[in-house]
């Protein structure tokens, strides 16, 4: 009997148990432990930032960076329609509204369309950008590194400077990727914008169970964001608070797991790339199948592998292939429902969405755990090939 091959599960083959045991044995389990500081320091070293601020998850990291960016109720924020919904939900936490953008052929947000939207749909009054239709301020952009690929940050920076837009890099999926061309060459995921947000959710490339991190080089913002994540406490004895804070700091237990996982990150990136290359070698010469690959500016962590299934040539469509593989105990998954079609956001402004629809129907993510064996890899490849009609 064939065993079940999951889409993505974490791997704990390093010092995880040792460090977590140490946290328990020393009775430092909550937010004031040495692993939290250590994990922050090591992440900052890894990505090459001055600061990093741990959070309970990636969503909390995005929430805090939006607050720190001065985005508030009534503001609009440009976001991709192709992303996990957390990128969008944080806007509503602060009363802001999304403006949805299309993707390019690598699934990342189309910066040319962002520029076109600004030129055609907005007015620049010399101080701020106003959406002509809603009359609201367009205050920020949250580009997302979908499945490890970078959008065009260089082009975005020229736009954001001109129109005073804040930029927050949602790097939840791209830790371990780095830039290989242009102005940001050799820079790592998380520092391609003034603020970057990471996630260590269970299915991300490294995990703390649940956790996140804010990346920045801004001294003042860093200390204020740490203050916000720790209940905005101004006096540790009398518990005086001058702002509304959050209980968002990562715990020592989570960070202990994180320190051990970070030791494996480079190995995991190479393993992901190895698995992707095997899939690509065996499957992309089959009629009707192709992969979304790393773009010209990214050395990708290949967090997820997106197979594009064209029914006309492959004989069956994406959903039929998913069901076929499910029968063979192979778990795969389509890309997220486009966010401008999700119920809470269906009435929001969506600008010239075209490519996103094309990919929404066709993408299937194949098993991508770093502990996927060569046998299992072969089984997935064989099963996909045998599904062709």
Ligand X SMILES: *Cc1c(COP(=O)(O)O)cnc(C)c1O
250 binds ligand X (CB under 6 A): no
What's the min distance (Å) between Cβ of 216 and ligand X?
17
Of 83, 104, 261, 332, the one binding ligand X by CB under 6 A: 83
Using alpha carbons, list the distances in angstroms from residue 102 to 170, 239, 306, 310: 16, 47, 18, 20
* Phi, psi dihedrals of residue 231, rounded to the nearest 5°: 65, 15
Which residues neighbour 277 within 8 Å (Cβ) at sequence distance 6 or greater? none
199 binds ligand X (CB under 6 A): yes
173 binds ligand X (CB under 6 A): yes
What's the min distance (Å) between Cβ of 265 and ligand X?
16
Nearest CB to ligand X, comparing residues 33 and 212:
212
* Phi, psi dihedrals of residue 80, rounded to the nearest 5°: -75, 150
Determine contact, residues 230/215, Cβ cutoff 8 Å.
no
176 binds ligand X (CB under 6 A): no
Of 5, 23, 77, 86, the one binding ligand X by CB under 6 A: 86
144 binds ligand X (CB under 6 A): yes
- What is the Cα Rg of the chain in Å? 21
201 binds ligand X (CB under 6 A): yes
Helix (H, G, I), strand (E, B) or coil at 212: strand
300 binds ligand X (CB under 6 A): no
189 binds ligand X (CB under 6 A): no
Binding mask 19-58 for ligand X (x = CB under 6 A): --------------------------------------xx
111 binds ligand X (CB under 6 A): no
Q: Rounded CA gap, 207 and 95, in Å?
A: 30
Q: How many CB atoms lie within 10 A of CB 155?
A: 14
Q: Rounded CA gap, 221 and 202, in Å?
A: 28
The neighbouring-strand residues paired with 366 are 305
Nearest CB to ligand X, comparing residues 57 and 306:
57
Interface contacts to ligand X, rule CB under 6 A: 57-59, 83-84, 86-87, 144, 170, 172-173, 199, 201, 212
């Amino acid at each position: 009997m064939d065993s079940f091959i999951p889409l993505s599960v974490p791997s704990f083959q390093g010092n995880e148990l040792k460090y977590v045991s140490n946290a328990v044995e020393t009775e430092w389990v909550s937010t004031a432990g040495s692993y939290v500081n250590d994990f922050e320091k090591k992440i900052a070293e890894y990505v090459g930032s001055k600061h990093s601020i741990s959070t309970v998850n990636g969503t909390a990291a995005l929430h805090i960076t939006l607050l720190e960016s001065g985005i508030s109720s009534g503001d609009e924020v440009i976001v991709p329609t192709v992303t996990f919904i957390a990128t969008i939900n944080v806007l509503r936490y602060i009363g802001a509204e999304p403006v949805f953008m299309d993707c390019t052929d690598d699934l990342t947000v189309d910066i040319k369309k962002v520029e076109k939207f600004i030129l055609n749909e907005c007015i620049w009054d010399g101080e701020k950008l106003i959406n002509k239709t809603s009359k609201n301020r367009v205050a920020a952009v949250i580009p997302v590194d979908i499945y490890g690929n970078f959008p065009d940050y260089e082009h975005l920076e020229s736009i954001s400077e001109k129109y005073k837009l804040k930029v927050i890099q949602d790097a939840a999926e791209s830790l371990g990727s780095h830039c290989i061309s242009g102005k940001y060459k050799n820079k790592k995921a998380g520092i391609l914008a003034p603020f970057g947000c990471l996630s260590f959710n269970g299915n991300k490339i490294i995990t703390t169970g649940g956790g996140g991190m804010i990346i920045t080089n801004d001294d003042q913002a860093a200390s204020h964001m740490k203050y916000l994540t720790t209940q905005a406490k101004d006096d540790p004895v009398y518990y005086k608070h001058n702002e509304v804070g959050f209980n968002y700091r990562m715990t020592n237990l989570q960070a202990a797991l994180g320190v051990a996982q970070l030791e494996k990150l480079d190995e995991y990136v190479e393993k992901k790339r190895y698995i992707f290359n095997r899939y690509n070698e065996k499957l992309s010469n089959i009629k009707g199948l192709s992969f979304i690959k790393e773009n010209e500016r990214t050395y990708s962590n290949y967090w997820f592998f997106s197979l594009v299934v064209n029914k006309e040539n492959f004989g069956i469509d994406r959903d039929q292939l998913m069901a076929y593989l499910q029968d063979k105990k192979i778990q795969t998954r389509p890309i997220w429902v486009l966010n401008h079609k999700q119920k809470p956001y269906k009435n929001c402004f969506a600008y010239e969405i075209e490519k996103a629809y094309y990919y929404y129907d066709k993408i299937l993510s194949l098993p991508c755990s770093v502990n996927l064996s060569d046998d299992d890899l072969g089984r997935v490849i064989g099963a996909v090939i045998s599904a062709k009609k």
